[in-house]
Amino acid sequence: MENANHTFQWACGEASRCLFCIDAPCTKGCPTHIDIPRFIRLLRWKDIRGAKQMIKAENCFGAVCGYLCPSEKLCEKDCLRARIDSPIEIAALQRFACNNADYEPAFNAKSRTGKKVAVIGAGPAGITCAMQLTAFGHEVEIFEREKYLAGTISKEIPHFKIPPEVVDRELGELGTERIKVRVGIEVKPELLENETGKRFDAVFLGVGLSQSHKSRLQKKGVKNVYDASMFLNSVKSGSIGPIKGICVIIGGGDTAIDCARTALRLGAKRSVIAYRRSRNEMPAAEAGFIQAAKEGVEFLWQLSPVCTIGQKEVAEIEFVRTELMRSRQGGRRAFKRVSASKFRFPADIVVLALGKGRDAEFTSILNDQRVNAETLQIENTKYFVGGDLINAGETVVEAVADGKKAAISIDRYLNSM
């Protein structure tokens, strides 16, 4: 949430730096294809409401993405202004516009088609898909097994990255009153293929990644070893309070950074990230890494965990050092363990940020070999997929983009029936 509260004077000044490129690389770099030069031009003209309207017309999670997007890898990556001094702070301008203007969703819905679509999962992909389908004139019903919307954003993303009031406002601006939203209801795959599925003309699966990868570090009966989702969710729900001692996080992605920064805020004496490769291979965003280091997070490179040590509670982690190999075809370098290099490191809490996998129950419906990458349709079926379920939990903005793409494909499919 760094630099989230910019002033109007700053926004106008930053907007005036934009070159307003005709063939804008920033727009090409945005998965939801927001017309970035145009919304920045509106900010320059002091039309904050118009800028927000333009952002939200393409991305109904525009404010959230302003906080969570890895903009340095997307819209800001090829900003031509960088050839003069530095890239335009597009994400910060997007945050400013969305935080400082009113918004009313504009519904120019087509006439009702009589077609019904079920959306499974109320994360960014599912909600975006539902909103677009409603605008196309279709009847939409969302099923969400949790009792809240927005998926991981509400469940796991720490408040220091995005204030809860921003998420609440964003959800309030969706205009979901035109959609049936049923929370606290889990739709099992067998119901989709039988009872529930038969009531709908098409189904969008935006169930996300619900299964944390298992690890040998998790031993039955040994406390204080958490997977990252459980840790972050428990912190947000208040079931984990202040912590003491050393917190060791295993992993190198953005989630590992979130866990490490969270541990410091809970009072950890030391918060340490252990990663099996080097900083060059670490997938975490540069801005998050730098902020974590400023806050006091420590980093241990080229270490692979072997096991946790402790009886009722974890006391140490045994690591082995790794050696990086030559990369093949420009990808991340592989690694191998260095023999006779084991050592122990003290740990009072261990958090495993090792990523998530798909819910095994959906394998009967979802098969990667059959998903059309262009339409997101499971070929020869009425099922469409998107979000974390197919992009492995990359970013919120990519989930939104999937929801838009799937809605267009579903509309085309329904019109061909």
pLDDT tens digit sequence for 61-92: 999 999 999 999 999 999 999 999 999 999 99
**Common-topology check for domains 8-99 and 116-210+358-415:** no
Give the pLDDT score at 112: 87
Q: Which two tokens stand for residue 42?
A: 């509106």
pLDDT tens for each residue of 361-376: 665 566 555 889 899 9
pLDDT, averaged across the chain: 90
Residue length of the chain: 417
Give the pLDDT score at 101: 95
Give the pLDDT score at 109: 63
- Return the minimum-mean-pLDDT range out of 3-7, 197-201, 309-313, 337-341: 3-7
Query: Residue 416 pLDDT more than 70?
Result: yes
Give the pLDDT score at 187: 83
Query: Residue 286 pLDDT more than 80?
Result: yes
Domain 213-356 has CATH 3.50.50.60: yes
pLDDT tens for each residue of 309-361: 998 999 999 999 999 988 776 677 888 999 999 999 999 999 999 887 666 66
Three-state secondary structure readout of the chain: CCCCCCCHHHHHHHHCCCCCCCCCHHHHHCCCCCCHHHHHHHHHCCCHHHHHHHHHHHCCCHHHHHHHCCHHHCCCCCCHHHHCCCCCCHHHHHHHHHHCCCCCCCCCCCCCCCCEEEEECCCHHHHHHHHHHHHCCCEEEEEECCCCCCCHHHHCCCCCCCCHHHHHHHHHCCCHHHCEEEECCCCCHHHHHCHHHHCCCEEEECCCCCEECCCCCCCCCCECEEEHHHHHHHHHHCCCCCCCCEEEEECCCHHHHHHHHHHHHCCCCEEEEEECCCHHHCCCCHHHHHHHHHHCCEEEECEEEEEEECCCECCEEEEEEEEECCCCCCCCCCEEECCCCCEEEECCEEEECCCEECCHHHHHCCCHHHECCCCCEECCCCEEECCHHHHCCCCHHHHHHHHHHHHHHHHHHHHCC
Query: Residue 4 pLDDT more than 80?
Result: no
Give the pLDDT score at 26: 97
Specify the CATH number of the domain 116-210+358-415.
3.50.50.60
Give the pLDDT score at 304: 95
Q: Which two tokens stand for residue 10?
A: 């700053």
pLDDT tens for each residue of 226-283: 999 999 999 998 998 899 999 999 999 999 999 999 999 999 999 999 999 999 899 9
The domain ranges of the chain are 8-99, 116-210+358-415, 213-356
Specify the CATH number of the domain 8-99.
1.10.1060.10
pLDDT, mean of residues 144-150:
91
pLDDT tens for each residue of 28-63: 999 999 999 999 999 999 999 999 999 999 999 999
